[in-house]
Amino acid sequence: MSAVFRRGHWNSSPWCSLDDFYTALDRGEIQAGQAIIFRYLGPKGGPGMPEMLGPTGALMGAGLGGKTALITDGRFSGASRGFIIGHVVPEAILGGPIALIKDGDKIVIDTVEKTIDWIVTPEEEAKRRKEWEAAGRDQIRVTRGVLKRYARDVQVRQLSNPVHYD
């Protein structure tokens, strides 16, 4: 395993839209040394955790697969490649730290210690949390149907997932 994948320092590049990410990748705005952060793709935020094979394949195709990290509250299949971390909880829509990361923030990933550290002061984190709460980013985007029920009722996998028929 490469030393950078044992313990690496990364500059964050957060995305709330896969389309915006693909556009930035096409423009050459995604660079080696970035931790690409995909958020609002978890069970509630997706809803349903869309698969991340497309973004990992695009990074590999751009020659960045071994030079970037990808972190998401979404999921990966067995076909995904690269330095990837998925199923991050609490997910963004629930106010997890992944929701508060801004472009250029420092991220330290240590695979030996199994830690991900986001380097901001507690004061900065509190400020961002207030901004996030005021922006209403905790609202489920799906407004009707089965996906609305799913997004409303789904919980992290360690908890049961009851279905409500109302």
Which runs of E-coded beta strand occur in 99-141? Answer: 106-110, 115-119
12, 17, 77, 160: which one is catalytic?
77
Which sign, positive or negative, has the C-alpha torsion 103, 125, 76, 67?
positive
- State the Cα angle at 129 between 125 and 135, rounded to 5°: 145
Active site residue 160: no
Helix 18-26 vs helix 53-61: angle between axes, to the nearest 10 degrees?
Answer: 10
Nearest one of 42, 47, 40, 74 to 146, comparing CA atoms = 47
Burial class of residue 1 (count of CB atoms within 10 Å of its CB; 0-12, 13-18, 19+): exposed
**Active site amino acids:** 77
